[in-house]
Structure 1
Amino acid sequence: MGGSVSCCISRSERPKNDEKGVELEECPFTTEDVSEDTGTYIQHISDRELPDELAQETNPSDHPRASTLFLNKSQTDVREKRKSIYINHTSPGLLTRKYSSCSTIFLDDSTVSQPNLKTTIKCVALAIYYHIKNRDSSRSLDIFDEKKHPLSHEKVADDYYAVNPEHRLIYRFIRTLFSSAQLTAECAIVTLVYLERLLTYAEMDICPSNWKRIVLGAILLASKVWDDQAVWNVDYCQILKDITVEDVNEMERNFLELLQFNINVPASVYAKYYFDLRSLADDNNFGFPLEPLSNKQAKKLEAISRLCEDQNKDLNKSSLRRSASADNLTAINTKAVLS
């Protein structure tokens, strides 16, 4: 991952005295304290900053314990679907779910390190769909406005800012970029992280008028950070045909500035987004695909299992040797003391 500039949160200013002249208590942030044991004690800077919980609320894409924005946005629709399932007493997803049996074992080939590409893109598109549908407002910036910076020569509809795109439209747009640029599923997850980080840092919303340009900016940035052989900006111009290199370069610069050049994605944050995407898929009755266990996969799993068993045996043997050496050392020291 590339370098990053952390987003700093300054503590609030010291409250002023009220009009009645009543003196307020001393500010709890002191530069030094008197300790009986060590004398002067200088307080660490981390003790003066805002609590970590408050930072998590403002920057959920930076902290693994904070809930993702897209999962919160989807909860309203999920609750309505669950009410409908309760009334009908049947879930359509349960009828198509595969289960293992004595003759066939079904495996999920998607892992946190190697997600399934097609399903991951579907989940990312669904997350963006819920962002747009359940947005709080339509705050935006001119650089992402498709009316002012169109991606094609086709005329933009007059109501382009009011009509929400369908999930299939968002999926096709992302799939076209990923297929043409040969991007990976991991890049799709990082794209979603950058998108939510932009919305948080810039205090804006993704809406019908800007979603394509925001998604494009997040994808081209994620591809450069994640993939070893990044796609050039001019390549995206060949995919979208009508967009210019100058426009893509300017959008990328603005995207980076709004992110405060914080392009670092910790492994814990990446894993959180992966599993939240899986939860989103389950809530919407389309899970990651299950495939029957083949002979080749069975042999591979058996080989991995044997390797892990051998490693555990070696670890146990080494720990026993260390324990025996410690016992011998104790015995030698005891004899020396007794003599």
Structure 2
Amino acid sequence: MGNTVACCVSPRGSPKITRPPDRQEDYQVNTDLSEDTGPYLQHISDREVPDDLAPESNPSDHARASTIFLYKSQTDVRDKRKSNHINHVSPGPLSKKYSSCSTIFIDDSTVSQPNLKSTIKCVTLAIYYHIKNRDSDRSLDIFDEKKHPLSRERVPEDYSRIDPEHKLIYRFVRTLFSAAQLTAECAIVTLVYLERLLTYAELDICPGNWKRIVLGAILLASKVWDDQAVWNVDYCQILKDITILKDITVEDMNEMERHFLELLQFNINVPASVYAKYYFDLRSLADDNNLSFPLEPLGTERAQKLEAISRLCEDKYKDLSKVAIRRSFSADNLVGIRRSHAVLS
């Protein structure tokens, strides 16, 4: 997959996500033997769910379906705006920078190269709303931190009843990304896998399981996204040096990864359209919660770089168009030759 994608609330207000149709039959391999072709192995494109199968039930699979985290955040956003309006709370001085005739502000975050710090803040805020505005506390033993603790300290008795704050989730994820040197794109794919897990397995991310679910999603996303695969034993060594975590065995990591893949039905493909949807929904989440991306004035040097990149992309598309025209012309000639040959014969 590399650096290219797709090749790669209250409990009363959260959406009702239905489980997608059982796709076990999609992964069955045809073992009929043929003298000419041998055993037939189904292609991965044949395993994908057709577009006409209720896209609203698969937000992590279809670009048209709304992300769950953005929906769950809207309840808090509306309540905050309503409270400010009723109590006549002033929004305060504007902290966001706006472009003018003399100055243009742009940020360095794009779909292909998101800002790392801002992206992790937004992803962890999405996880926070998943926990805060969950439907119930559905979970599995493999993700239960009381049965499989990650912290060096003893897990408190009321751990599963206290919702973690956003800064706690952010610190946990930021430490993992810093230690493993992961990219911002990996954070977005992590959120895609997390919502796919909650949808497929009909689970809820809760105070008692969020650390292990997030760790499993990061582990899988880093392996799918990065060009160089990271072994689980390497992850254990990385996590060993993190003060917030205790020593994790390779067997525990392997078991959690295996369960995660099985619950995802081994669907680790992330279409480019889905990745882009999550990126822009995260930016919307940032705007709703005053988490602005860093803006810098557009200077002469940066403007020249943008112009050079624009020209490079324009030349690239021109070359692709020429190739497409030549192929189309060659195909038309081939059809014409075949027709002429048929008439003469």
Q: TM-score, normalised by structure 2?
A: 0.74
**1:62-101 paired onto structure 2 within 5 Å:** 62-87=61-86, 88=88, 90-92=90-92, 95-101=94-100
Q: State how far apart, in whole Å, the 1-side matches of 2:318 and 2:229 are.
A: 43
Match of 1:180 in 2: 179
Question: Once the two structures are superposed, what CA deviation does each residue of 1:23-82 show, in whole Å capped at 9, x if it has no partner?
Answer: xxxxxxxxxxxxxxxxxxxxxxxxxxx995652232211111001110111111010122
Give the Å deviation of 1:101: 3.0
Where has structure 1 moved over 4 Å in runs of 4 or more? 50-54, 305-316
Pick from 283, 287, 294 the counterpart of residue 299 of structure 2: 294
Q: State how far apart, in whole Å, the 1-side matches of 2:50 and 2:317 are.
A: 41
Give the Å deviation of 1:294: 3.0
Q: State how far apart, in whole Å, the 2-side matches of 1:59 and 1:310 are.
A: 37
For the residue of structure 2 that corresponds to 1:96, the secondary structure is coil
Q: State how far apart, in whole Å, the 2-side matches of 1:58 and 1:190 are.
A: 19
Contact 1:108 1:288 in 2 (8 A): yes
Question: Once the two structures are superposed, what CA deviation does each residue of 1:252-299 show, in whole Å capped at 9, x if it has no partner?
Answer: 000000000000000000011001100100110112111122332111
Larger radius of gyration, structure 1 or 2? 1
Match of 1:327 in 2: none
Contact 1:147 1:209 in 2 (8 A): yes
Contact 1:181 1:231 in 2 (8 A): no
Deviates more, 1:155-164 or 1:225-234: 225-234
Contact 1:3 1:262 in 2 (8 A): no
Match of 2:252 in 1: 247
Match of 1:135 in 2: 134
For the residue of structure 2 that corresponds to 1:65, the secondary structure is coil
Question: Once the two structures are superposed, what CA deviation does each residue of 1:7-29 show, in whole Å capped at 9, x if it has no partner?
Answer: 97269xxxxxxxxxxxxxxxxxx
Give the Å deviation of 1:245: 1.2
Match of 1:115 in 2: 114
Contact 2:20 2:57 in 1 (8 A): no
Q: State how far apart, in whole Å, the 2-side matches of 1:162 and 1:73 are.
A: 19
Match of 2:199 in 1: 200
Q: State how far apart, in whole Å, the 2-side matches of 1:297 and 1:167 are.
A: 34
Q: State how far apart, in whole Å, the 1-side matches of 2:213 and 2:313 are.
A: 44
Q: State how far apart, in whole Å, the 2-side matches of 1:155 and 1:291 are.
A: 45
Identity of counterpart residues, as a percentage? Answer: 79
Give the Å deviation of 1:311: 7.3
Q: State how far apart, in whole Å, the 2-side matches of 1:185 and 1:104 are.
A: 28
Match of 2:44 in 1: none
Q: State how far apart, in whole Å, the 2-side matches of 1:193 and 1:309 are.
A: 31
Q: 1:176 to 1:51 in 2, by over 3 A?
A: closer
2:144 is the alignment partner of 1:145: yes
How much is the aligned-residue C-alpha RMSD, in angstroms? 3.0
Give the Å deviation of 1:151: 0.8
Pick from 290, 305, 308 the counterpart of residue 285 of structure 1: 290
2:282 is the alignment partner of 1:270: no
Match of 2:38 in 1: none
Segments of 5+ residues of structure 1 without an aligned counterpart are: 12-49, 323-339
